[in-house]
């Protein structure tokens, strides 16, 4: 019978910890973002982003690993009018979503009224619209202040659902 190793055996403990570090270092954690060069993006993925937003100038990118192990390429840029954009694509070129910076006057009145009803006095510092591949707005994200606190709101395209995110 082989003698059982004690966790207090320093050589044994060192091997266990080293093995754990090697295994964990081989995988990226879900939600982890890694900055990459535009040239590191597969050609078909970059072409899809350019086709989706032909007037955007892309200048930076990162990857994000998802809970299911898939990899998302997040490609950031600007439109001719200076608004920020981001296109999120899977490795195979499928579009997860794309986001476009909005000014307050581009947001539907029903969405603004819904926020005012739920959070009177909320002041938005940044607004973006999230789109599906069909170029339909899925939701709006508002970053701003309410009663002195920074808030990040996710609001449905029709304004019926408001969620306070990142708290």
**Of 15 and 139, which is predicted with more confidence?**
139
- Tell me: pLDDT of 7 over 90: no
Give me the pLDDT at residue 14, please.
39
- Tell me: pLDDT of 138 over 60: yes
At 30, the pLDDT band (50, 70, 90 cuts) reads low
Give me the pLDDT at residue 8, please.
44
The pLDDT mean for the chain works out to 86
**Of 167 and 83, which is predicted with more confidence?**
83
| 85, 100 Cβ separation under 8 angstroms | yes
Which among 16, 10, 23, 73 is positioned nearest to 45, based on CA atoms? 73
**Of 23 and 65, which is predicted with more confidence?**
65
- Tell me: pLDDT of 9 over 90: no
How many Å from the N-terminal Cα to the C-terminal Cα in the chain? 54
């Amino acid at each position: 019978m082989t003698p059982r190793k004690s966790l207090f055996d320093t050589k044994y403990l060192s091997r266990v910890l080293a093995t754990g570090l090697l295994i964990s270092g081989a995988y990226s954690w879900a939600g982890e973002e890694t900055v990459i060069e535009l040239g590191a993006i597969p050609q078909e993925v970059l072409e899809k982003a350019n086709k989706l937003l032909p007037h955007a100038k892309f200048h930076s990118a990162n990857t994000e690993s998802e809970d299911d192990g898939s990899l998302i390429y997040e490609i950031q840029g600007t439109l001719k009018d200076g608004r920020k954009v981001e296109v999120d694509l899977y490795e195979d070129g499928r579009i997860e979503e794309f986001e476009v910076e909005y000014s307050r006057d581009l947001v539907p009145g029903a969405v603004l009224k819904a926020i005012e009803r739920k959070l009177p006095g909320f002041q938005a510092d940044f607004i973006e619209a999230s789109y599906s591949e069909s170029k339909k707005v899925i939701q709006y994200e508002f970053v701003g202040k309410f009663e002195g606190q920074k808030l990040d709101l996710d609001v449905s395209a029709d304004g019926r659902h408001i969620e306070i995110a990142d708290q």
